[in-house]
Structure 1
Amino acid sequence: MKNNVNNAVKKFASSNNFTIVLFHYDGNVNGWDEFDWSKDVIHITARKQTKWWFAKRFLHPDIVAPYEYIFIWDEDLGVDNFDAEEYIKIVRKHGLEISQPAVDGQGFQWRMTERKRDQEIHKQVQERENWCTSPQLPPCAGFVEIMAPVFTRNAWRCAWHMIQNDLVHGWGLDFNVRRCVEPGHEKMGVVDAQWIKHHAIPTLLNQGQQNENTSSTAIRTRCRLEWKMFDERVAEAEKAYYQLMGIPYPSSNSTNTTN
């Protein structure tokens, strides 16, 4: 895992245009001193937490307002074919407010985030049958995964407010951040010309107490429960908004699915 993180950090540290923050969930900050860049990045540690827990507490929109783009990335990404500066050029060119690099390789992933080898970016795909209620809604469009999203500062201000203090895994965010940009199917996209690999290393395993079940099955169960809770909260908030504005609430406004 250290080599993975080292490679990713160096992709950004080679430029003077990025500030790098490492979130440590194991408390082992000094373990990174072997890398020259460690003294130049910001280290934040809290044991047994997750990326979105840290992001909610330490990446407040006012704090990151000086930055044009905010990368909220996992630690298990392969970045051999990724160039941060080139990526920024592409998202600016296409006006993407929320984006991610395409994912290349085997294993399950949403078709929206799979790398298309003949395109610079893509904004829409045809998903599996009955997975999308509309071709302009997630996961067919207006969709990026929570493993490697990139937000403009304005989009992040909205997305940050969506993150729930008590729902630490972030499941469900990917289906709803489209609400932060208008229209989502135009201002969200996947960058095929700069791609990553997702190694899917289960780094959350064995992070709990001895009497806690931290198996992959237990973690996935917790993630699905949080997703359900998040959807319910979004639906209630949306209904309240429609009622406040005096607008009839659509009979079906769900865009979520499970796999």
Structure 2
Amino acid sequence: MRSFGRGSNSLKSTETMRLMLSVCCGIIFGLIIGISFPSSSLTKLNITSSIVSNFPIARDRNNVVSDQKPADPSIKIQNATDQLKIWVPSNPRGAERLPPRIVASESDYYPRRLWGKPSEDLQSKPRYLVTFTVGIKQKYNIDAAVKKFSDDFTILLFHYDGKTTEWDEFEWSKKAIHVSVRKQTKWWYAKRFLHPDIVAPYDYIFIWDEDLGVEHFDAKEYIKLVTKHGLEISQPGLDPRRGTTWQMTKRRGDREVHTTTEEKPGWCADPHLPPCAAFVEIMAPVFSRDAWRCVWYMIQNDLVHGWGLDFALRKCVDPAHKKIGVVDSQWIVHQGLPSLGNEGEAKDGKAPWKGVRDRCRKEWKMFQTRVANAEKVYFKSIGVDPSNLTSH
């Protein structure tokens, strides 16, 4: 019995030793396999990612195996480039690629120096702008007119005869702005050189003819009155003894301003419409900054002389019969000198000014038709029958 017990124990010990030896061999074999086949070569054996992911080595941060292709560096560069591109739809048209803070929506007519610090260029900034469309024959008349405007006005001369240096005898002319294009009217100049974003610094813009007598006119007092009475579009009263056409624009001696009048019977179907109200002539109009922005867009067409424009100015302010008026206590004389008219061409035995006058009348009819047709199209587009509108 003792011999049998000893034999059993010896057998168990032998089996245990064999098992331990097998485990050790298995571990050693596994290490050899691991060393012989690093993780980078697993993909060469076409082992699928689902299998590889089950091995501890696939979860090792330093030996991650993925079925995705490595990122293309060129794609990263492209994405970074796209992010650095600027596109701002709210910027003015054509400036969408600029950062908003560098976009200036307005400019001005203030001259700058060629030297010194830019911040010290402007010792003053005039608040008002007065323009005259001029020829050299009216030089002394314009000199008298300019002297009625203080240093708070920028002086801008549009020269239709090409003569500019001849004005240098006047000290004020050296500070004025001169624009010269031959045989053009003030509305041609206004379209191109009085853009609302350029004249935005000015509270009021005077767009005047050259043949105006200003003996009874003071610009400072005029500004006070249009501000006091809230006139967005205005003109000085005209001396009723000199070449006036409309009752509305004749000076009245018993008041500061007026906004309505009585014309000839049948001329005004509505007392709030031109020429009985909401009306000034185009020889010496004065516009507020906001009113001019609207009027400027209205004149963007092929018309030259602007006849008929005075009947349409009312469309740019509301209520027009209160915000368009004539300043009676600051009045002028319309001299009626046809200097620009003589720049026309004599044809078929007619004097140059007659051809100009004929063109003026044709343009008036064209402008009226154009405005009427544009309004009809608009009202139809919003489902309104224009024939049902009594006035607008």
Give the TM bin, normalised by the shorter chain. over 0.9
- Whether contact under 8 Å (1:178, 1:188) holds in the other structure is yes
Q: 2:79 corresponds to which residue?
A: none
**Residue aligning to 2:189:** 54
Structure 2 counterpart of 1:95, from 218, 225, 230: 230
CA distance in 2, matches of 1:133, 1:210: 39
Q: How far apart are 1:158 and its partner, in Å?
A: 0.5
8 Å CA contact retained: 2:243, 2:335: no
8 A Cα contact 2:237 2:327, kept in partner: yes
What's the counterpart of residue 42 of structure 1? 177
Please give the alpha-carbon distance, in whole angstroms, between the structure 2 residues aligned to 1:185 and 1:26.
Answer: 38
The structural deviation recorded for 1:251 is 5.4
What is the one-letter code of the residue matched to 1:239?
K
1:245 corresponding residue in structure 2 = 382
Which residue identity does 1:151 align to in structure 2?
A: F
Question: Is 1:167 aligned to residue 303 of structure 2?
Answer: yes
CA–CA distance in 1 between the matches of 2:217 and 2:155? 16
Which one of the candidate residues 359, 364, 381 is aligned to 1:222? Answer: 359
Q: What root-mean-square deviation, in Å, do the aligned CA atoms of Structure 1 and Structure 2 show?
A: 1.7
Deviation, structure 1 residue 11: 1.0
Show the counterpart of 1:8.
145
Other-structure match for 1:122: 258
The alignment partner of 2:343 has SS state of coil
Listed as ranges, the gaps of 5+ residues in structure 1 are: none
Aligned to 2:331, the other structure's residue is in SS state strand
Shift of 1:5: 0.5
SS at match of 1:95: coil
Amino acid at match of 1:78: G
Residue 148 of structure 2 aligns to a residue whose secondary structure is: helix
Q: Which moved more, 1:90-99 or 1:213-222?
A: 213-222
Give the Å deviation of 1:250: 3.3
Does the aligned pair in 2 maintain the 1:124–1:185 contact within 8 Å? yes
Q: Deviations over 1:64-122 (max 9, x none)?
A: 01101000000000001111010000000000000000001322321000000001000
- The answer to whether the 8 Å contact 1:53/1:165 transfers is no
Q: 2:274 aligns with which of 127, 130, 138?
A: 138
Q: Partner residue of 1:206?
A: 342
- Once residues 389 and 267 of structure 2 are traced to their aligned partners in structure 1, the CA distance between those partners, rounded to angstroms, is 15
Query: What is the DSSP-based 3-state SS (H/G/I as helix, E as strand, rest coil) of the residue aligned with 2:145?
Result: helix
Q: Which amino acid aligns with 1:225?
A: K
1:43-62 per-position Cα deviation (integer Å, ceiling 9, x unaligned): 00000100110011100111
Work out whether residues 344 and 352 of structure 2, in 8 Å CA contact, stay in contact via their aligned partners in 1.
Answer: no
Give the Cα separation in 1 of the matches to 2:223 and 2:336: 25
Residue 19 of structure 1: which of 140, 154, 170 is its match?
Answer: 154
Q: Is the 8 A contact 2:217 2:331 kept in 1?
A: yes
Task: Tell me, in whole angstroms, the C-alpha distance in 2 between the residues paired with 1:16 and 1:174.
Answer: 29
Q: Amino acid of the residue matched to residue 73 of structure 1?
A: W
Aligned to 2:204: 69
Q: Report the Cα distance in structure 1 between the residues aligned to 2:391 and 2:337, rounded to whole angstroms.
A: 31
Q: Deviation at 1:179? A: 0.4
- Work out the CA distance in 2 between the residues paired with 1:131 and 1:210: 35
Give secondary structure in 2 for the equivalent of 1:139: coil
SS of equivalent to 2:260: coil
8 A contact 1:205–1:214 mirrored in 2 = no
Which protein, 1 or 2, shows the higher relative CO under an 8 Å CA cutoff with sep ≥ 6?
1
**Matched residue type, 2:156:** V
Per the alignment, do residues 209 and 246 of structure 1 end up closer, same or farther by CA in structure 2, a change over 3 Å counting?
same
Shift of 1:240: 1.6
Q: Is the 8 A contact 1:204 1:214 kept in 2?
A: no
SS at match of 1:23: strand
Higher-Rg member (1/2):
2
Any idea what the Cα deviations from partners look like across 1:192-233, whole Å, max 9, x if unmatched? Answer: 010000001001233245669662222111001000111111
Distance in 1, matches of 2:390 and 2:310, equals 16
Which residue of structure 2 aligns with residue 157 of structure 1? Answer: 293
Deviations 1:9-44 (A, max 9, x none): 1111xx221111000000000110111111110000
Give the match for residue 123 of structure 2.
Answer: none
Which residue in 1 is equivalent to 2:130? Answer: none
Q: Which residue of 1 aligns with 2:317?
A: 181
Q: Once the two structures are aligned, what percentage of the paired residues are identical? A: 62
* Residue matched to 1:191: 327
Q: Which of 195, 218, 236 is the aligned partner of 1:83?
A: 218
The alpha-carbon deviation at position 131 of structure 1 amounts to 1.2
- Scaled by the length of structure 1, the TM-score of the pair is 0.93
Which stretch shows the higher mean deviation, 228-237 or 141-150?
228-237
What is the DSSP-based 3-state SS (H/G/I as helix, E as strand, rest coil) of the residue aligned with 1:16?
coil
- Quote the residue 1:30 is aligned against: 165
Quote the Cα distance in structure 1 between the aligned partners of 2:243 and 2:388: 36
